[in-house]
Amino acid sequence: MMDVVDQLGALRAGALSRRKFTKGLLAAGVAMTAMPLTGRRAIAAEGDQATYFTWGGYDIPELFGPYIAKNGVPPNFATFGGSEEALTKMRGGFVVDVSHPCNQAMPRWVQSGLFQPIDTSRLSNWGDVIPELVDLPGNDAGDGKVWMSPFDWGQTSVTYRTDLFELEGEESWDMLWDARYAGRLGSLASGADAWWCGAIKAGVDFADIDSEGAFEKIAAVMREQRPLIRTYTDDTTTLEQALSAGEMVASMTWNSSAVLLQSEGIPVKFARPKEGALTWVCGPMIHKDAPNLDRAYEVIDSLLSVEAGHFMINDWGYGHSNAKAFDAFDAETLAGLGLSKNPLDVLNAGHFQHPQTQEWETRMNETFEQIKAGF
Amino acid sequence: MAETSLSKSRSGQAAARASGSRLTRLLNRSETLRGYLLMAPTLLIMGIGIVVPFLILLMISLWTRQGFGFDTTLTLVNYARAWSEPIYGALLARSFWISGVATVATVALCYPMAYYVAFHVHRNKMMWLILMTLPFWTSYLLRVFAWKVILGYEGVINSGLSAAGLIEQPLAFLLYSPTAVIITLAHAWAAFAILPLYVSLEKIDKSLLEAATDLGDGPVARFFRITLPLSMPGIIAASFLIFIPTTGDYITPALLGGPDGTMIGNLIQIQFGAVNNWPMGATLSIVLMLWIAALALVFLLITRKMQERIA
Amino acid sequence: MSTGSYIKRPNRALQVYAVLFLVVLYVPVLFIPLFSFNDAVHVRFPLQGFTMRWYSELWSRQALWNSLWNSVRVGLVVAVISTILGVLTARSITRYRLKGKGALVGFIMMPLVIPGIIFGVALLVLLSRMGVPLSLWTVGLGHLIICLPFAVATLLPRFEGFDPSIEEASADLGENGWWTFWRVTFPMALPGIVASLLLSFTISFDEFIMAFFLTGTDPTLPMYIWGQLRFPKEFPSVLAMASLILFVSFVLVFIAQWVGRMGLESQEKEGLQS
């Protein structure tokens, strides 16, 4: 082994002669001097801004108009592909001010002891928040406080190419199990969506989803689907690009993918499956050790603002928690997007996720990862 | 106690006289102690960085996950699972297969290039070397992504082939498959093959080759009897440099592998992510290390045998 | 090594191969600058027209510059520390007779033969048990551990080939250890030191796997790129940044080559050996 190591040493020393020395130092020097002002200003700003840990795609300034108006810059962003990944990272020591779980995970997040209740009196937009969205299982922190402020709600369903996918009968989850399109179907990688959609397809009632029988049925259905899937990804852009190229003809997505593709002129439709879509509510929670607490509240207030609501509804087709945000849209537009001023209409028409225990969650994720890998 | 040379003891005594402390005298007399002292910071860091984490990794692999924390009763159940459940063995095998093919392909493809620069380039060798390694100053992630663009459904290869009328439907197997992973790994790690191969080819004493020519050997015989065996250390180094890191790669499979291209690295990473089973992740890491060590030993033995045969 | 009398006949096939090889090597890499000028957010064909806007917008992408700055900082610190430690280690290995030297060197070289993910995972576990929060410091620690073997491997041949009698002569002439090191050992080891600095910086700058596990809220450049790769909002600007780095590297290499050659020529003129 030593002569191999000597080889390594020799090659490194030989290949990187004095000539490369200037190059490296200069490159570092150039990088450093090229941005003395911007760098330092950014660092100063960075140190003070709240960090928002959220789903990929939500790290945009459009949601933070009020925040930027007050602070001059958007908050710092960190993104995750799935809420389980986010929770594990935070449990491993990753401290952020605000994170963005969904209702199904919220009780477990609370249980982890990593978060503090939100004092709703500090939120200027709280009065306009739709009350039905606040009243979720496990959200009551006592004293009128909540753990999670509702922010966005929507559906997970099938986005499909109307010109490439030949519908047999009604829109249904069977579309993603259609063997005619083997290798041209896509799915979200996280169990938090995929497994539950599998449950809908398998006809399992969400109230029974933690039973042994349910596990077997859903696992069977997911195994059946696997050979048909081109790729599992939590990267919505991959799914959108694949749909626009015709690489995929149908995929499991959230509302926004269909809206984005339609705005690009691609002939897609966000299906309304006869079995019902998966529905959810998500929103920000504050870390118990949040270093920038005041700014954290500003982040949440921005998310709850009418401005952010307009963007969410119009550009992405998601529901928003601020009742006033819906005033700018007529009933027809909302219906077209699959939304409504009364979120419960939509949420209850679909299958609203139920919180589960940590044990269930882990077992589900483990099983799903095995299935995805082919076992 | 180590013996010291005359000049060293002279300077040692001078220093001892200068400071006069017992410790200094002790240091001056013991070479070993001084040597180790000099290495102390490095050893400390490596100790903290290697030994301690691995011990903890080992410890955690013997625990089990319980709710949000760990059940610290020692148990081998994770190892039992790693051994018995087919997914782990299969993914390990697949990872070694993918890495192995990528390694062989890379070394085989880079060898002629290294040979060319070592033997056929007479001026500006350094320039060639730098040219060959410069692409690797870009981010690894971006290079993987670039391959995604090349192999993609609407990517370079597919659009090129369909524009040339050679295919009707884009080739789907190019992306989201083990093939995509192998191609990308081979390209991404080429620099690690070229440099060791070049160094060991360059070192070959040309007079040996001249002598062989004079004694009547043709070019093929010269290659197999002299060049190839003498470049073996380079081949071995290149193989190690590519095989070992790529077995644990999870980025390339995640971006390009598709469901069939998952590797053991993905499984390990998931244990620390969504699946949230740190003990299992630790177990898989240790199992991976042991397998790599075993394969490396086998490889070294084989090449040693081959070298003995030729010599 | 006598290259003079053994000149092979030019081999056409090999020449063609070499050119093809370089082409295949570079094409994927050249996509990066290619798409940085493309007038579209999504990276795919067909190209949508030429634009410089990703470059001009580069200056306003604070997060991108922050992550670059983070990577540079970590890289510099790691390069300096690993080189210093590498020098100490190389010196102690080559200059002192140590018991168990082989095993020691093997131990220090271990990170070379273990996949990065295992180190990332092991360190994550250690830091989390110790309750240390993740940050650029934890990333730096991870990088230091994988850069040290390279630093030592680079410096070891330098120190090995170094004749100790020169140092002894200096000592005999009455100089103390420190002065000897500075005026005698250091200049001779300089190319190795420089190579080690450069190598460690390069490794740390592009390192992703350890950073993935050990990053806190301040991302390094590769971590930032990963985020933009999966959820692209500013992706073409990332390509612009990467193209700039590539371009600067090219330019510097050629300048350095040119300077180096001029230096050689002037040294030859003065009749000195370089």
Whether C88 sits inside 8 A of B42 (CB atoms) is: yes
Calpha distance A251→A259 (Å, rounded): 14
Residue B5 inside a domain? The answer is no
pTM over 0.95: no
A255-300 confidence digits (pLDDT tens)? 999 999 998 899 999 999 999 999 999 999 999 999 999 999 999 9
CB contacts under 8 A, C 80-99 vs B, are 85-86, 88-89, 91-93, 95-99
**Same domain flag for B256 and B141:** yes
**What confidence tier does A15 reach under pLDDT thresholds 50, 70, 90?**
very low
Mean pLDDT across the stretch A305-315? 94
> What is the model's pLDDT at position B261?
93
Question: Does B65 contact chain A (CB < 8 Å)?
Answer: yes
**Same domain flag for B148 and B256:** yes
**What confidence tier does C274 reach under pLDDT thresholds 50, 70, 90?**
very low
Per-residue pLDDT of chain B (311 residues; tens, 9 = 90+): 444 444 444 554 555 455 557 777 766 667 677 777 888 888 888 888 888 989 999 999 999 988 777 888 899 999 999 999 999 999 999 999 999 999 999 999 999 999 999 888 888 787 888 888 888 778 889 899 899 889 988 888 888 888 888 888 888 889 999 999 999 999 999 988 888 898 888 888 888 888 888 888 888 888 888 888 888 888 998 999 899 999 999 999 999 999 999 999 999 999 988 888 899 999 999 999 999 999 999 998 988 887 777 66
Q: In this structure, what CATH number is given to the domain that contains residue B155?
A: 1.10.3720.10
Residue C69 inside a domain? The answer is yes
Whether C195 sits inside 8 A of A6 (CB atoms) is: no
**What confidence tier does C267 reach under pLDDT thresholds 50, 70, 90?**
low
**What confidence tier does A28 reach under pLDDT thresholds 50, 70, 90?**
very low
> What is the model's pLDDT at position B61?
93
> What is the model's pLDDT at position C265?
66
Give the relative orientation of helices A212-225 and A358-373 as an angle to the nearest 10 degrees: 30
| Number of domains within chain C | 1
| Number of domains within chain B | 2
Calpha distance C135→C112 (Å, rounded): 24
A321-359 confidence digits (pLDDT tens)? 999 999 999 888 888 888 888 888 888 889 999 899 988
Whether C122 sits inside 8 A of B126 (CB atoms) is: no
Among the partner-chain residues B49, B135, B245, the one whose CB lies closest to the CB of C29 is: B135
Cβ(C86)–Cβ(C179) below 8 Å: no
Residues of B in contact with A8 (CB under 8 A): 196, 237, 241
Residue C204 inside a domain? The answer is yes
**Same domain flag for B34 and B179:** no
Range of the domain at B195: 87-310
Residues of A in contact with B84 (CB under 8 A): none
**Same domain flag for B235 and B122:** yes
**Same domain flag for B117 and B212:** yes
Q: What percent of chain C has pLDDT over 70?
A: 89
Length of chain C: 274
**What confidence tier does A3 reach under pLDDT thresholds 50, 70, 90?**
very low
Among the partner-chain residues C66, C133, C231, the one whose CB lies closest to the CB of A43 is: C66
> What is the model's pLDDT at position B282?
94
> Mapped to the 3 state alphabet, what secondary structure does chain C carry?
CCCCCCCCCCCHHHHHHHHHHHHHHHHHHHHHHHHHCECCCCCCCCCCCECCHHHHHHCCCHHHHHHHHHHHHHHHHHHHHHHHHHHHHHHHHHHCCCCCHHHHHHHHCHHHHCCHHHHHHHHHHHHHHHCCCCCHHHHHHHHHHHHHHHHHHHHHHHHHCCCHHHHHHHHHCCCCHHHHHHHHHHHHHHHHHHHHHHHHHHHHHHCCHHHHHHCCCCCCHHHHHHHHHHCCCCHHHHHHHHHHHHHHHHHHHHHHHHHHHHHHHHHHHCCCCC
User: Distance from CA of residue C272 to its chain's centroid?
Assistant: 31
Helix (H, G, I), strand (E, B) or coil at B133: helix
Residue B78 inside a domain? The answer is no
Whether B35 sits inside 8 A of C93 (CB atoms) is: yes
A131-148 confidence digits (pLDDT tens)? 999 999 999 988 889 999
**Same domain flag for B108 and B255:** yes
**Same domain flag for B235 and B276:** yes
Per DSSP, A61 falls in state G
Residue C114 inside a domain? The answer is yes
Query: Residue C192 region, left (φ>0) first, then alpha (ψ -120 to 50), else beta?
Result: alpha
Residue B3 inside a domain? The answer is no
Residue C53 inside a domain? The answer is no
Burial classification of residue A204, based on how many CB atoms lie within 10 Å of its CB (0-12 exposed, 13-18 middle, 19 or more buried): buried
Question: In this complex, how many residue pairs, one in chain B and one in chain C, have their CB atoms less than 8 Å apart?
Answer: 246
Cβ(B265)–Cβ(C117) below 8 Å: yes
Range of the domain at C241: 61-273
> What is the model's pLDDT at position B216?
84
Across chain A, what does the average pLDDT equal? Answer: 86
Whether B38 sits inside 8 A of C91 (CB atoms) is: yes
Calpha distance A327→A322 (Å, rounded): 10
Mean pLDDT across the stretch A15-23? 40
Length of chain B: 311
C159 or C119, greater pLDDT: C119
**What confidence tier does A177 reach under pLDDT thresholds 50, 70, 90?**
very high
Whether B145 sits inside 8 A of C15 (CB atoms) is: no
Q: For B81, phi and psi rounded to 5 degrees?
A: -65, -45
pLDDT of A5 > 70? The answer is no
**Same domain flag for B150 and B54:** no
Question: In this complex, how many residue pairs, one in chain A and one in chain C, have their CB atoms less than 8 Å apart?
Answer: 156
**What confidence tier does A2 reach under pLDDT thresholds 50, 70, 90?**
very low
Across chain C, what does the average pLDDT equal? Answer: 82
**Same domain flag for B23 and B165:** no
User: Distance from CA of residue A214 to its chain's centroid?
Assistant: 25
Whether B133 sits inside 8 A of A369 (CB atoms) is: no
Residue C186 inside a domain? The answer is yes
Residue C23 inside a domain? The answer is no
Q: In this structure, what CATH number is given to the domain that contains residue C147?
A: 1.10.3720.10
Q: How many helices (H) and strands (E) does chain B have?
A: 18, 2
Tokens (6 digits) for A205:
């009632």
**Same domain flag for B290 and B226:** yes
Question: Does A230 contact chain B (CB < 8 Å)?
Answer: yes
**What confidence tier does A22 reach under pLDDT thresholds 50, 70, 90?**
very low
Residue C192 inside a domain? The answer is yes
> What is the model's pLDDT at position C217?
81
pLDDT of A21 > 70? The answer is no
Whether A13 sits inside 8 A of C253 (CB atoms) is: no
Tokens (6 digits) for A336:
């077209």
Residue C102 inside a domain? The answer is yes
Residue B6 inside a domain? The answer is no
Residues of C in contact with A93 (CB under 8 A): 127-128, 131-134, 216
